[in-house]
Amino acid sequence: MTIKYIILAVEIFLLLLFIAPFPILNAGNVAGIGFFTIMIAATIAHRQFFKLLKSMWAHVWGKGIIIAVCVFLIVGFTYVGILSYKMYKAQENEPKDTELIIVLGCKVKGEKPSRMLRYRLDAAYEAMKKHPDALVVLSGGKGSDEKISEAEGMRRYLVEKGADESRLIMEDKSTNTFENIKFSFAITDKLGCGRDITIVTDGFHQYRASLIAKQEGARNVTAYSANTQPKYVPTYWVREWLGLTHFFVFGN
């Protein structure tokens, strides 16, 4: 019984990690809440659960279902383990030198950057200081609930921090990561810039952004990763698993 309660405590803790970002609700915490709710129910009713498995195992169709589920779980955990490793490596890939920095947008509240966007901009500001000759593209359009474009909100914030406005280029039409990269390149190509870039975004986001950039013609993609509030990491990390899967299947 002690082991049961330890397992239950761990599952409840993990469930709370996915509840913590509320009122933010996306595919990441929906998946996490759903998974750990099922796990908690199975732990509480473990006798009935194992009795059901034993009953199913007595039938050919039941064996098939149990084996298929086990294989799915093994493959699934291996897959997300590999993705997590690649995501971690991508977020640590800082450049020795760079000529072009692209800052990926995030929500603007009214006319002010959200906390997540401010963290990205703080990372961008530090990158600008380390690479004083690099051009900086601020990429993000205007959502239906935003008063200004994310690009404009980013420009104002960086200028207020003391950034050189002449180095800032606004891309204010994009609505997702694919468009961030595609539309930014459309601007920088006209300026004669190459497609080797440094991306500024949250660490969990770097791997998918780098894959999209390489799909769009970048050969070398490096990263400056913003701090992410700890309570958001599990939700957005799982969301990235789903986003990466979508990218692998559909290419965007």
DSSP per-residue string spanning 173-198:
---SHHHHHHHHHHHHHHTT--S-EE
List where CATH 3.40.50.620 sits in the chain: 100-229
Q: What local confidence, expressed as pLDDT, does residue 40 receive?
A: 96
Q: Are 36 and 11 in contact (CB under 8 A)?
A: yes
Q: What local confidence, expressed as pLDDT, does residue 208 receive?
A: 97
Q: Are 31 and 45 in contact (CB under 8 A)?
A: no
Q: What local confidence, expressed as pLDDT, does residue 1 receive?
A: 63
| Distance in angstroms (rounded) separating the CA atoms of residues 231 and 241 | 17
Q: What local confidence, expressed as pLDDT, does residue 173 receive?
A: 96
> 100-229: CATH homologous superfamily?
HUPs (3.40.50.620)
Query: Which candidate, 37, 33, 70, places its Cα nearest to that of 238?
Result: 33
Tokens describing residue 68: 């298929």
Q: Are 126 and 224 in contact (CB under 8 A)?
A: yes
pLDDT along the chain (252 residues), means of 10: 89 96 93 96 93 94 96 97 97 94 94 95 97 96 91 97 96 96 96 94 97 95 96 96 95 81
